[in-house]
Amino acid sequence: MSSCQEKKECGTQQAYELPENLFRELDAFIDSLPTKKGHLVTVLHKAQSLFGFLPVEIQEYVAEHMDVPVVHVFGVVSFYTFFTMKPKGKHPIAVCMGTACFVKGADKVVEALKQQLNLEVGEVTSDGKFSLDCLRCVGACALAPVVIVGEKVYGNVTTDQVKSIIADFA
């Protein structure tokens, strides 16, 4: 298990401080499964809920403990948009950019969020409170444009609502 200092470069990947107690909690979760076979996605969900994201170190750890090749774990993590390999803010913000949302102004909502939070898509605010991402489609076209903050869904969002949405979590 790798535990480089936070923001210290290890090879070409940025390394993060990954708490040992979370690895122990992940071990206990894996040990509680009736079988490892068929539970990779479940374990990755648990790992992401514990660590907040799935960097290479965690993917390698999961691969070893689930007895699967690391390339298989990476394939699953990179395929499903729910999984992230980069840290997220305490309150991750996702804006749907599907056709209905885009047509109804999601791009303008993204610009307002970027300006309000002073960050780009894919970044985390300097205080670690917010991160901003775009999604392909959340399947809530009747509510377009849709913004999700953590697990809270906002529908029919306008640029004028951005400040109050952020204030809900500040």
Task: Give the pLDDT of the chain (170 residues) as one tens digit per residue.
Answer: 333 333 333 333 455 678 899 999 999 999 999 999 999 999 999 999 899 899 999 999 999 999 999 999 999 999 987 898 988 898 999 999 999 999 999 999 999 999 999 999 999 999 989 999 999 888 999 999 999 999 899 999 999 999 999 999 98
Task: State yes or no: 101 annotated in a binding site.
Answer: yes
pTM for this model (two decimals): 0.66
Task: State yes or no: 141 annotated in a binding site.
Answer: yes
**pLDDT for position 30:** 97
Closest CA to 78 of 56, 50, 52, 49: 56
DSSP, collapsed to helix, strand or coil, labels residue 106 as helix
Task: Determine phi and psi for 27, rounding to 5 degrees.
Answer: -60, -45
Gap between the Cα atoms of 121 and 142, Å rounded: 24
Closest CA to 16 of 46, 56, 44, 49: 56
